[in-house]
Structure 1
Amino acid sequence: MMNLRKFDLNLLVIFRAIMTRGSIAGAADEVGLSPSAVSHALARLRIMLNDQLFHRTADGVEPTERAKEISQEVERGLGFISSAISLQHQFVPSEANRVFTMQITDYVSGFILPRLAERLQKDAPSVSVDILPFSISTDSVWDRVDVQIRLTPGRLQPEQVRSQRLVADDIVVLMRPDHPDALKPMTADLYAALPHVKLSQSATGTTVIDDVLAARGLERHMAMTVSSWFDIPDIVANSDLIAIAPRRLLQLDPRLKHLHSAPLPLEEVVFSFDLCWDLRTEREPGQQWLRKLISELFQEIA
């Protein structure tokens, strides 16, 4: 076990800056030091970690395999330290001036965002929310996103992700009432054969339906892919295309009341809407407040 009293933790901040910027000059700009000071810090790190860590290239520096191995642990450790320090600062919603960044699956954004806006206006008027698509790189998502509200049909892979179940729901297949196949039993083969309109992965954050069908040797015919749930009910009502939706939406979106619905014939698929966040920021006061607020809003909806 390394004696941390002999280790300058500021060196890890410089290491992270070099990894992020990919150059000594860029890292120096980020941490507010001269390029010479950053180079000296890197030399100390190389001795302490017994590795070159970075190789010079025409475009800057390239991390070694050892640097790549420790990068995630360094990032996680610095996150814990930052979170621990921030605990001394109380988060007062009515006084806070802050931007929270979120990813929200399109199925629930239509009914959660208006309620969230109403609560923010009432309780935290200077707090803003920035919504990002699910198409951003998963490698950097927790450096940019405070929380996710996502479909979670399976386990989350990253060890640093924590989650809370907001609501579980069944999935239904939607079609217009006079669809040629409306009276047929909905089977997996029929479901896969019918032309679909679906939400893009950037709106849902999951490909579980296609993965389950592929395991059965089936593949959907994607006649149309849209980026917003708002477009789907009218498309289904005026065509032979089918779609899927959480059953709860049948009560929350009045446009669905006139559509025919049938249970999704893929029993291994159970959709839950989960609130997800980074373990490193779990105890940060602002994060705790936001997660509690979102949980309360879903309880009201349920």
Structure 2
Amino acid sequence: MVNLRNFDLNLLVIFRAIMARGSIAGAAEEIGLSPSAVSHALARLRVMLNDELFFRTADGVCPTDRARELSADIERGLGFISTAISLQHQFVPSEAKRVFTMQVADYVSGFLLPRLAERLQVEAPGVSFDILPFSISPESVWDRVDMQVRLTPGRLQPEMVRSQRLLADEIVVLMRRDHPRANDPMTAELYAELPHVKLSQSATGTTVIDDALAARGLERHMAMTVASWFEIPDIVAKSDLIAIAPRRLFSLDPRLRNLKASPLPLEEVVFSFDLCWDLRTEREPGQKWLRKVVSDVFKEIRT
């Protein structure tokens, strides 16, 4: 085991920067050192860890297998250290100058973001938000995102991700009112038989539906995949494709009122809106404040 008394933890910060930027020059720019200083630090780290860690390529550097293995643990450890230090500082919303990065599912954004903006312009005018798509690789998402608001989380990493149920909602199946099968009862068999349009995002919990269908020996036919929920109502209205949606969206999108809605015929499937965050930031004051704000907004929605 390495003796931490003789280990410079700044070397791990440099390691993380090289992993993130993929080059010595990029890492130097990120942490404010010269490229030669970063190269010297990497040489020390190679000796301490007895591995090359990175080898040069035409575009920069590429991590060794050992570096890839170490990366998650180093990122986790530095995250815990950063959180422990930040706990000494109080977060004052009215005085804060900070950017929070969130992923918000399309299904949720229509009623969450306007209320969030309204509240923050009064309570925390110096706070900004960067809303990212769910197309980010799951392996790197918690290096870039403070929290997620999503519809039914998938298989989370239990040791690193925490979640809170914000709101449960009924999921309905949408089709145009003059659909050839509009008068047929919506059964699991019919649901699987009809062609579907779905979101490409990974934040919709649709694997839960596929698992429920598979248990019945059924499989959906995905005729179209789109990038945004807001494209779906018009597609359903002009075709024989069907889709799913939370019933709560009917109060937000008038286009849905022209479609037929039937309960999803999979009784065991329960959908909810969930707030997810990284365990490393669970006690960080700014993150705790934001989680409470999001939770309060959903309490208002429920009432």
Q: Same fold (TM over 0.5)?
A: yes
What is the CA–CA distance in structure 2 between the aligned matches of 1:180 and 1:215, rounded to whole Å? 27
Q: Which one-letter code corresponds to 2:195 in the other structure?
A: P
Superposed, which structure 2 residues align to 1:2-17 within 5 Å? 2-17=2-17
Q: Which one-letter code corresponds to 1:65 in the other structure?
A: D
1:132 is aligned to: 132
Shifted more, 209-218 versus 226-235: the winner is 209-218
Query: CA 1:21/1:257 → structure 2, altered by over 3 Å: closer, same or farther?
Result: closer
Task: Give the secondary structure class of the aligned counterpart of 1:277.
Answer: strand
Q: Which runs of 5+ in 1 are unaligned?
A: none
Query: CA 1:204/1:70 → structure 2, altered by over 3 Å: closer, same or farther?
Result: same
What is the CA–CA distance in structure 2 between the aligned matches of 1:91 and 1:208, rounded to whole Å? 38
2:44 is aligned to: 44
Q: Does 1:298 align with 2:298?
A: yes
Query: CA 1:180/1:286 → structure 2, altered by over 3 Å: closer, same or farther?
Result: same
Shifted more, 35-44 versus 97-106: the winner is 35-44
Q: Quick check: 1:171–1:271 contact (8 Å CA) kept in 2?
A: yes
**CA-CA distance at 1:211 after TM superposition:** 5.3
2:183 is aligned to: 183
Q: TM-score, normalised by structure 2?
A: 0.88
**CA-CA distance at 1:290 after TM superposition:** 0.7
Could you report, residue by residue, the CA deviation over 1:87-131 in whole angstroms, capped at 9, with x for unpaired residues?
222211112222211111111111111111111112112222221
Shifted more, 245-254 versus 277-286: the winner is 245-254
2:249 is aligned to: 249
2:263 is aligned to: 263
1:28 is aligned to: 28
Q: Quick check: 1:94–1:125 contact (8 Å CA) kept in 2?
A: yes
2:72 is aligned to: 72
Shifted more, 165-174 versus 103-112: the winner is 165-174
Query: CA 1:255/1:291 → structure 2, altered by over 3 Å: closer, same or farther?
Result: same
Q: TM-score, normalised by structure 1?
A: 0.88
1:90 is aligned to: 90
Q: Quick check: 2:171–2:245 contact (8 Å CA) kept in 1?
A: yes
Q: Which one-letter code corresponds to 2:244 in the other structure?
A: I
1:276 is aligned to: 276
**CA-CA distance at 1:85 after TM superposition:** 1.4
What is the CA–CA distance in structure 2 between the aligned matches of 1:171 and 1:282, rounded to whole Å? 30
Q: Quick check: 1:134–1:205 contact (8 Å CA) kept in 2?
A: no
What is the CA–CA distance in structure 2 between the aligned matches of 1:276 and 1:88, rounded to whole Å? 24
1:287 is aligned to: 287
Q: Which one-letter code corresponds to 1:33 in the other structure?
A: L
Superposed, which structure 2 residues align to 1:121-270 within 5 Å? 121-157=121-157, 159-201=159-201, 204=204, 207-210=207-210, 212-213=212-213, 216=216, 218-251=218-251, 253-270=253-270
Q: Which runs of 5+ in 2 are unaligned?
A: none
Could you report, residue by residue, the CA deviation over 1:160-216 in whole angstroms, capped at 9, with x for unpaired residues?
222111122232112234433223221222112223333332674754434554565
Task: Give the secondary structure class of the aligned counterpart of 2:19.
Answer: helix
Q: Quick check: 2:110–2:252 contact (8 Å CA) kept in 1?
A: no
Shifted more, 253-262 versus 127-136: the winner is 253-262
Task: Give the secondary structure class of the aligned counterpart of 1:266.
Answer: coil
**CA-CA distance at 1:239 after TM superposition:** 4.3
Query: CA 1:198/1:55 → structure 2, altered by over 3 Å: closer, same or farther?
Result: closer
**CA-CA distance at 1:73 after TM superposition:** 0.6
Superposed, which structure 2 residues align to 1:79-118 within 5 Å? 79-118=79-118
Matched positions, count: 302
Shifted more, 231-240 versus 85-94: the winner is 231-240
Q: What percentage of aligned pairs have identical amino acids?
A: 82
**CA-CA distance at 1:150 after TM superposition:** 0.8
Query: CA 1:61/1:226 → structure 2, altered by over 3 Å: closer, same or farther?
Result: closer
**CA-CA distance at 1:230 after TM superposition:** 3.2
Supply the RMSD in Å over aligned alpha carbons. Answer: 2.5
